[in-house]
Structure 1
Amino acid sequence: MYIWSPMARTVLPKSVFMFMIICFIFFAVDGNPFGSSSKIHGPATTGYKEEKLSHFRVYWHDIASGRNPTAVPVAAAATTNKSATGFGGVIVIDDPLTEGPELSSKLVGKAQGLYTLASQNDVSLLMAMNFAFMEGKYNGSSITILGRNSVFLKVREMPVIGGSGLFRFARGYVQASTYKFNPRTGDAIVEYNVFVFHY
């Protein structure tokens, strides 16, 4: 048997129509149809006590040259090579994060993710990356950064939108300042000051 549905202006099989009615009643009566496991949990309900602000500095090494680059182009538009800003290029990164500006200084983690040249008017990147820490008390923890990076500004600010491990429920921002850039190779060293609230 078929029933005409005025909303869809079509004829539905009776079984589909009945299923829709049952689902509507189910969701209307019980606003939480998935049981107690779908309750919203926040820091207070998971044992976290006091939020604190951490500030630390790392150096990000974006290496585009040599036999083992850490920044690799993976996609480009047909017009990217003709663009003065590289618009449309996508680069995947696995960049070392070090304590000091020298690549030989202590490795504390990796910046893993991607950036894309996202402006036709200036060299501005959309950054989407995790700072995955491998040293000290933050070993195994990470923060996630997502934001706009106008590379020719002296200081660029991007938000921290989350984290894992000791950085669960993280929020904050980073400030990036170019320490060194080689226009011939494309290699860059950027100082990142990280300001992050976490529990």
Structure 2
Amino acid sequence: MGMKVMLAFLCALFLCLSTLPTHSAYYYTQKLQDSSTKEKVTHLHFFLHDTLSGKDPSAVLVAQSNNTNDHHKSATPFGSVYAIDDLLTEGPELSSNVIGNAQGLYASTDKDTLSIVMYIDFGFTSGKFNGSSFSVFSRNPVLDTGVREVAIVGGRKKFRMARGFAELKTQYFNGTNGDAIIEYDVTLFHH
């Protein structure tokens, strides 16, 4: 009798284990049961003004490396961390209509050239998206010519559950003081 119970137990255990999903791959896909939520796509175009110089900078150094090697003579040397509160405008001129601000951190993360990793929340303070924001957490190779791409990883209010990408193009960059104007073309997928 004991052998039959043990055999039944082992068979039941085998059946239970064989029905568990396996997640041994580098990805896992799950179908959502609720297909009633319709995803929206929003395209945005604006300019970010990052100012490190002057009496009222929008980006300030909050941490830096204790490395005394002084061969990196740039405005944002390797290991520097900046807190930002940059203006977002409709046009490249600082006098154009302000639509929001970008707040967050970026760190200079390349020993040989200017490249940053940035976590920034892009918040809108006027218009249709007033009170909404999306977040970027991505590497940004600042000195790459042409268009660079960063990842959008979230959002709130009208951009809830946002994902997507932003294509960046430098409109102005001062290599001495670090001031920059960056054009953003954003594609957001959200609910």
Which bracket does the TM-score occupy, shorter chain normalised?
0.7 to 0.9
- Name 1:77's counterpart in structure 2: 65
TM-score (norm 1): 0.74
Change in CA separation of 1:50 and 1:181 when aligned onto 2, cut-off 3 Å = same
Q: Give the secondary-structure state (helix, strand or coil) at the position aligned to 2:187.
A: strand
Structure 1 match to 2:152? 160
Task: Find the residue that maps to 2:158 and give its secondary structure.
Answer: helix
Give the count of matched residue pairs: 156
* 2:179 equivalent in structure 1: 187
What are the ranges of 5 or more consecutive residues in structure 2 without an aligned counterpart?
1-31
Partner Cα separation in structure 2 for residue 143 and residue 165 of structure 1: 9
Structure 2 Cα separation of the partners of residues 192 and 95 of structure 1? 13
Structure 1 residue identity aligned to 2:175: P
- 2:38 equivalent in structure 1: 50
Q: 1:117 — aligned with what?
A: 108
Question: In the alignment, does 2:152 pair up with 1:133?
Answer: no
Match of 1:102 in 2: 93
Aligned CA-pair RMSD: 1.9
Determine the C-alpha separation between the residues in 1 that align with 2:59 and 2:105.
9
Preserved CA contact (<8 Å) 1:80 1:89: no
Q: Residue 8 of structure 2 aligns with which residue?
A: none
Q: Partner of 1:186: helix, strand, or coil?
A: coil
In the alignment, structure 1 segments of 5+ residues that lack a partner are 1-41
TM-score by length of 2: 0.77
Picking from 161, 164, 172, the partner of 2:164 is 172
The structure-2 alpha-carbon separation of the partners of 1:81 and 1:188, relative to structure 1 and needing over 3 Å to count, comes to: farther
SS in 2 for 1:61: strand
Question: Whose helix fraction is larger, Structure 1's or Structure 2's?
Answer: 1
Asked which structure has the greater RCO (Cα within 8 Å, sep 6+), the reply is 2
Equivalent position SS for 2:128: helix
**Matched letter for residue 54 of structure 2:** G
User: Matched residues, percent identical?
Assistant: 45
